[in-house]
Amino acid sequence: MNQVAILETVKSFFQREHGHFINGLSHPGKGALRQVVNPATAQQVAHVHDGCVEDVEAAMTAAQQAFTGSWAATSALARGNLLLKLADAMERHREELAQIETLCSGKTIVLSRGLEVDQAVAFLRYFAGWAGKICGETTDISIPAAQGEKLRGYTLREPLGVVVGIIPWNFSILISIWKMAAALVCGCTVVLKPSEYTPLTMLRVAQLATEVGFPAGAINVVNGDGRLLGPMLIEHPFCAKVTFTGSVPTGRGVGNSASALAKPVTLELGGKNAALFLDDMTVEEMVNGIIEAGYLNQGQVCASAERFYLPSGKLDEVLEKLSQRLAQFRVASPLDEACQIGPLANKAHLDKVLGMVNQAREEGDEIVYGGCSPDQPGYYFLPTVVKVRSENSMMMREETFGPVGSFLAYDDEEKALAMVNNSPFGLAASVWTHNLHKAMRYSERMQAGIVWINMHTLLDPALPFGGIKGSGNGREFGSAFINDYTRLKSVMMRY
């Protein structure tokens, strides 16, 4: 076991009084104290004050003043440079940020370093590269001009204003950075609302941003109960756009509230992502693919696959080998560098996953492996393999967001493809085969915002990401984000 030692800086950070980060300063606030619990031990590690109407007002006002003042006066290239400096600072504080994340979310320290911090740094640098390149276009005007005058039109890409970013607990740094960096490079300012379960990482990132030179008010963080703060933030007159990542029910409410006020809204919601394995894959390839697609971060990844379609002749052998592999996974403290299965992120989530697996068992699905918590403190749940009765099993329709793969056999590839698409959601999907012809054709027919071929889950900043159907709207990354954080103004001139 290689249990990492908690840094002194992390210990002292946890002992501080926490609340919000507003107008360039840490700001504890006066709201009720909320416990931050380490999911690996079920013990409290810190406290944070919930936000109230005064905190929301202060954060929105600071963000609006920066938007029209200091941030507007910062040139596009200087904005990009600040994003690069923040990336460097996060790299210098990699271990500190990773430990804070692991102690709040239960993510393994290896993933906190490699996925939360390193990927956040990569995305910051990607978005910094857009600085100075976000612009409109000139256009010919075709209406006739009288008496030899000439007409010319052009468009301006204008930043929207204050962006409210609402963040889930599964990637508290990375998802915040996706939204924050996109907004800032476009010239917007941000007010972030982290999850109640993971309120601390972005407080530290916002401090680092101020240290490297971001002007006060450009980045603000308000913590607290989303049900109270969400409406206050969305309805605030300074809120020009909402970008939300989280569950489907909450997202629908956020979408309705923003749309009712004609505010643009990006929704990155959940789903029930499918992976289709074709018969030409070996059993070992299928087992490796399933582990990659379904069990990363205990399945608490929005793009993870939860529905698996396997050829009927191979299903039982794959499930047997998969169960053997999962049984060897090291269930341990997430601070242990060899840990492969850490806890789920919070007690409510553990109860939800356990309840769904119990319901599946009662309804007649077969729990081939796992299905319960190991005998140890904390919110652990064994990686679980469910052989479902049919396409209509609850396990093939509802997101667990946990380490639970549900498996169904097929005999006909066309019917399997129809089952993949028979879902109200469409965030992500994958097809696994050595047959290039089928890989290309099936990937084109899969109904999802992102489709992988012979891989799953990995995201790249250059490739747009977002859902279709009930999994949301809008796109992050690539050049597509520009549409979501700017508006076009048209100018026509006569000369």
Instruction: Just list the catalytic residues.
Output: 268, 302
Q: Taking the complex as a whole, how short is the minimal distance between the CB of residue 168 and ligand NAD, in angstroms?
A: 3
Considering only the stretches 89-97, 104-112, 226-234, 379-387, report the one whose residues sit in contact with ligand NAD under the rule CB under 6 A: 226-234
List the interface residues with ligand NAD, window 426-455 (CB under 6 A).
427
Q: Which of 10, 37, 160, 269 binds ligand NAD (CB under 6 A)?
A: 269
Q: Which of 59, 160, 232, 254 binds ligand NAD (CB under 6 A)?
A: 254
Q: Taking the complex as a whole, how short is the minimal distance between the CB of residue 48 and ligand NAD, in angstroms?
A: 13
222 binds ligand NAD (CB under 6 A): no
Q: Which of 22, 40, 109, 167 binds ligand NAD (CB under 6 A)?
A: 167
Q: Taking the complex as a whole, how short is the minimal distance between the CB of residue 213 and ligand NAD, in angstroms?
A: 28
Considering only the stretches 61-69, 268-276, 323-331, 365-373, report the one whose residues sit in contact with ligand NAD under the rule CB under 6 A: 268-276
What character string, x for contact with ligand NAD (CB under 6 A) and - otherwise, covers 179-198? Answer: --------------x-xx--
302 binds ligand NAD (CB under 6 A): yes
The 3-class secondary structure across the chain, one letter per residue, is CCECCCCHHHHHHHHCCECEEECCEEECCCCCEEEEEECCCCEEEEEEECCCHHHHHHHHHHHHHHHHCCCCCCCHHHHHHHHHHHHHHHHHCHHHHHHHHHHHHCCCHHHHHHHHHHHHHHHHHHHHCCCCCCCCCEEECCCCCHHHCCEEEEEEEEECCEEEEECCCCCCCHHHHHHHHHHHHHCCEEEEECCCCCCCHHHHHHHHHHHCCCCCCCEEECCCCHHHHHHHHHHCCCEEEEEEECCHHHHHHHHHHHHHCCCCEEEECCCCEEEEECCCCCHHHHHHHHHHHHCHHHHCCCCCEEEEEEECCCHHHHHHHHHHHHHCCCECCCCECCCCECCCCCHHHHHHHHHHHHHHHHHCCEEEECCCCCCCCCCCCCCEEEECCCCCCHHHCCCCCCCEEEEEEECCHHHHHHHHHCCCEECEEEEECCCHHHHHHHHHHCCCCEEEECCCCCCCCCCCECCEECCEECCECCCCHHHHHEEEEEEEEEC
Whether the Cβ atoms of residue 190 and residue 162 lie closer than 8 Å to each other: yes
473 binds ligand NAD (CB under 6 A): no
In the bound state with ligand NAD, the residue whose beta carbon lies nearer, of 255 and 289, is 255
Q: Taking the complex as a whole, how short is the minimal distance between the CB of residue 381 and ligand NAD, in angstroms?
A: 15
Residue 156 CA to residue 154 CA, distance in Å, equals: 7
83 binds ligand NAD (CB under 6 A): no
Q: Which of 24, 199, 246, 255 binds ligand NAD (CB under 6 A)?
A: 246
Considering only the stretches 161-169, 279-287, 312-320, 365-373, report the one whose residues sit in contact with ligand NAD under the rule CB under 6 A: 161-169
270 binds ligand NAD (CB under 6 A): yes
Q: Are strands 239-245 and 265-268 parallel, antiparallel or unpaired?
A: parallel
Residues touching ligand NAD: how many (CB under 6 A)?
26
230 binds ligand NAD (CB under 6 A): yes
Q: Taking the complex as a whole, how short is the minimal distance between the CB of residue 367 and ligand NAD, in angstroms?
A: 22
**Residue 319's closest CA among 389, 405, 390, 401?**
405
273 binds ligand NAD (CB under 6 A): no
In the bound state with ligand NAD, the residue whose beta carbon lies nearer, of 267 and 408, is 267
List the interface residues with ligand NAD, window 342-401 (CB under 6 A).
399, 401
Q: Taking the complex as a whole, how short is the minimal distance between the CB of residue 224 and ligand NAD, in angstroms?
A: 8
Considering only the stretches 91-99, 240-248, 387-395, 435-443, report the one whose residues sit in contact with ligand NAD under the rule CB under 6 A: 240-248
Considering only the stretches 101-109, 143-151, 168-176, 180-188, report the one whose residues sit in contact with ligand NAD under the rule CB under 6 A: 168-176
Q: List interacting residues with ligand NAD (CB under 6 A).
A: 166-170, 193, 195-196, 226-227, 230, 245-247, 250, 253-254, 268-270, 302, 399, 401, 427, 467, 472
